[in-house]
Structure 1
């Protein structure tokens, strides 16, 4: 992997990780369109460590408050407030993708990165996002979250294992279908992603140096720089996105997904870009 590839893909990772447009899909597309090879699922997973570090920093106060409340509530029932239960909902909601990631790890690194699948997922899941915006009541708040909500959103997060779907798109859409307000759906989805992404990134770290399947290899300094770039760009992106969601819907991203997916399908159909 060249340094130009590292910089371009890391900036793209930081920009798209939190938007409902699929960062893994963008990295797969950009790798093949501009560099004629796939960066690989492992490099993508490791670069996501930077964006998740940005989430840790951005939500640091919330995370500390939730962790304190969770430990306090374990021993004193009177201290079991909304933050205590939110801690449990993040734990419970993280289980589905942990199981799915282990069961389908080989498919995630190979067949799932086929650009025909990525482009189709971009277009098809756009309809899901649009439907969530249209039908979501947005009347429920954090105090009303239940274990059922965490399971539903956690299962929805599993869809992000398919490049082109989008982790934030899947979790926010699931939250909207459950009646959560848009900002809460986004925040809960971001918190839910932290355990999954860190586990995936650390698990994929050895393979990023020497891929056993598809994907280019990266050096230690390249992975470090990639993580730092994704962190800086990702921090700016998550701050912007949460402010954006307060006043705007996700319809803005639906049109972009459809156009990008259609362009990729045309490039594939005309033989300009290879699917694998």
Structure 2
């Protein structure tokens, strides 16, 4: 894969990681359309996700700093941040279990356009019902252990290409009655441990990369970071204005089109 293709896929990743349309699904579709594209395992996809997660850490740097430092600050002032840290840790457990148990099976699906297209249709359904039946608007202080565990399970299922991680987790939180901006922020923060774990697991595959490939991969990750910063801002505005139905229609259109083409 050359640098131009890596940059184009980085732009695609940055746009689709946070907009609820499945970055993995779009990467599968795009990679099937690039002549001669090949990669060892899913290293490139993981590096692209690492780039967009770096965007989360920069965009929510204040929240990340408060959460990370909460165990070392006086309990009186850090109680809300410690509670959020525990919820994020709890939500990461089911994601990690699903990822470790089904990693090989999921990776095998990254070349399957039919499955990816069907999962995009599922993403569209989740977005549609969450917008139609979203709850009253619970805030961060109202999040429970049950919320965290359920969202962690959904995030684990979103390892499937075509299931939007941000879209599915935000949709479930909206259905649980969580306010839109709170749902988006918790979804972004919950992704950090999962992507960090996937990145660490994929590091051992770097030695198998073809010579000269790593610079192109890093260029793609860098572009994903820059575009991801813009996409985060866009999604927060979309959720706040209750416009997820438009993304549901988009997922149905893309999923339906490529499902038909894959048959």
Q: TM-score range by the shorter chain?
A: over 0.9
The RMSD of aligned alpha carbons is 2.0
> Given the alignment, which residue of 219, 222, 227 partners 2:216?
222
Matches within 5 A, 1:146-225: 146-207=144-205, 210=208, 219-225=213-219
Q: Which residue of 1 aligns with 2:261?
A: 267
Instruction: Using structure 2 for the length normalisation, give the TM-score.
Output: 0.92
Q: Is the 8 A contact 1:138 1:181 kept in 2?
A: yes
Superposition deviation, residue 38 in structure 1: 5.4
Structure 2: 5+ residue stretches without partners: none
Q: Which residue of 2 aligns with 1:136?
A: 134
CA distance in 1, matches of 2:190, 2:125: 23
Q: Is the 8 A contact 1:126 1:254 kept in 2?
A: yes
**More displaced 10-residue stretch of structure 1: 133-142 or 57-66:** 133-142
Q: Is the 8 A contact 2:91 2:151 kept in 1?
A: yes
Matched, 1:19 2:19: yes
Matches within 5 A, 1:67-146: 67-72=68-73, 76=75, 78-79=76-77, 81-146=79-144
Residues 37 and 128 of structure 1, relative CA distance in 2, 3 Å threshold = same
Matches within 5 A, 1:236-275: 236-269=230-263
Report SS of the residue matched to 2:243.
coil
CA distance in 1, matches of 2:162, 2:199: 19
Q: Is the 8 A contact 2:90 2:148 kept in 1?
A: yes
Structure 1: 5+ residue stretches without partners: 270-276
Aligned length: 262
CA distance in 1, matches of 2:134, 2:189: 21
